[in-house]
Structure 1
Amino acid sequence: MGKAARKKGRKKDAGAPKKVRDVFVGQPFEGLAGEPELIALREFVPSATAPLTLATESDRKVTLGTVLPMAAAAFVRADGQAFLGMQVQTRSSDISRDLGRALKWALNAEPGDVLSVADTITPPAEGERLQDLLDPKAELETTLHKDFSWWLPEDTEPEGEVALSLERANAAIMPTERLGTGAYWVDAGERAHLRWVRPEPETWVLQALARLSAAGELGLGEGSRYAGSFRAHGLLVPVWDLDREAHAREWAEPAEQLGARLNKALDSLDDEPLNTAERRARDGLIGRQLTLR
C-alpha cells in the first residue's frame, strides 16, 4: 500500500464513529424502590399491573403489566391508556434500558399503536433507563388479576390475534397471591411455593438464612420446607415449598413472622459473625442456588 493510500485510510478511520461497548448490567433495577416488585413481575407473577410514577409530569399515564398481547414491549389501548410490558420477547444487556426505551415510546404513541419489540440494538445514550424516567423513591402498587381482561377497555370484546393471545395467556395463569413486597404465593400444580425477592445484598441474605436454618427457624411451620433460592437480576430469591391444600391466606401470618425473624437475623450480622454451625448451614444453602438472567 502506498503512502497516499495509507494516509487516506488513516483519515477514514479517524472519522469513523466510535463503537460503544454494550456492558451486561447484572442488577438492572438497582436504585429503584420498586426493585423487588419489578423482578417478581418480570420473572414469575403471571397477571398483574402497577401504575408508574414518572420523574417528570406527563399528560399520559403508563401502567406496568406483566405480559401484554403477543408479548409486546408496549402498547396504547384504544382508550389512550398506555401499558409497558415486563415479560417480553427479546432483551439486550440492560433490561432497564430496554424498558426505558419502550416507556419513552409509550409516552408519545397514538391509541392503537403497538411496540412489538423494544430497541435492543441502538448504542446506549443518556436518560433512557428506568432510573432516569421514574421516581426512584416510588414503590410499586401492584394489583393481581385472575385473567388478562385488563388488556382491553371495559365492555370491549377481543378479536383476531388479540383474542387468541388472550385465550392462551388466560390458560397459562397459575393461581398467585401477594403476601408482601416481592413475596408471592404461587400454586404450581403439585405443590405451592413462596417466592420472596429480597432487596438486601445476596451475601447478607444467605448469612441471615443460615442463622435461621441453624436455629431451626427457617420454615413457615407445618407443611413447609425451604427449597432453595435463585438469583434474578442481581437479587436473591429464596423459595419455600408449601402444602397446596392450605389456602394462600393461611400462609400470610407465617410469612410475616418469617420476615420478622429474617430481618432480626440480618440486623444481628453487624454484631455477631456466623458461628461454626451457621457457616455449615450457609454452605448447604449455597449448594441449592440457581441463577436466572
Structure 2
Amino acid sequence: MTLDLTEAVLIDIDLAGCNLQSANFIKAHFTGAASFGGAIFGGTTRFDGVMFGGNARFDGAMFGGNARFDGAMFGSDAWFDGATFGGDVGFGGVMFGGTTRFDGAMFGGDVGFGKAMFGGNARFDGATFGGTARFGEATFGGTVGFGGVMFGGTTRFDGTTFNGDARFGGVTFGGTARFGEATFGGTVGFGKATFGGNARFGGVMFSGTTWFGEAMFNGAAWFGEAKFGGNARFDGAMFSGDAWFGGAMFSGDAWFGGVMFGGTVGFGGAMFGGTTSFDGAALAGTSYDGPKPVAE
C-alpha cells in the first residue's frame, strides 16, 4: 500500500499491522489516538511537522528505509517500544508532550534527536544504536532512562539539559561519547557503563549525586572544568587511558576508592569541598597530579 496524506486531518486513525511501501504524512494533523503498532514501512517514511493530538503508538513497527519525524509535535504519549529502524532517523526539534518510550528499539543507521524537547519521562532502556546518535541540545524535562543501551558509533549529548534524574547504568558506548557542557539537574547514574572510545565530560554541570562506580573508560576521559554539586562516586572505576579532572569542582564528597588509573592522571586546579577518598586506588601510568598520593 502507498499513502500520501500530506496535510491531511486524520481522526483516530488505526493502521496497526499494515504494510506500507511508501508513506507520506508531512504536516498531517492526527486528532485523537494514532496507532501504527506493528506496521511495516518499506521505503522512506515522512512524518515531518506532524501534529499528534492524542497518544501515538509505533510499538513494534518496522521502518525499512529512512524515517523523518523532524519538527513533529506529540501532544500526549509516544510509544516506539521494540520498533526497528533500518535506515537513518530524524527526530530533530521534535516536541514530546507526554511519556516517551523507545525501550528495546533498534536503530540501524544514524539517529538525530538534536534540540528535541521531552516534556515527560523518557525511556530508551535496552535500545540499540548502530550508527551515530545525536542528542545535542535536547531537553529532558522528566526522568530519562538509557539503561543497558548499546551505542555502536559516536554519541553526542553536547549541551543537553537533563532536568530530572538520568540513568545510564550498564550502557555501552562503542565510539566517542560527548557530553560537553551538558547540565544534569538530578541524580546521574553511569554505574558499570563501558566507554569504548574517548569520553568527554568537559564543563558538565552535575547538580545532584553522580555515580560512575565500576565504569570502564577504555579511551581518554575528560572531566576538565566539570562541576559536581552533590557527591561524586567513581568507586571501582577503571581508566585505561588518560584521565583529566583539571579545574573540576567537587562541592560534595568525592570517592575514588579502588579506582585503576592506567594512563596519565591530572587533577591540577581541581577543588574538593567535602570528604575526598582515594583509598585503594592504583596508578599504572606515568604521572599523577592529584590531591592525595595513590597506592601503587
Structure-2-length-normalised TM-score: 0.23
- TM (norm. structure 1) is 0.23
Q: Which has the higher contact order (CA 8 A, sep 6+)?
A: 1
Judging by fraction of residues, say which structure has more strand: 2
- Which structure's CA Rg is the greater one? 1
The structure richer in helix per residue is 1
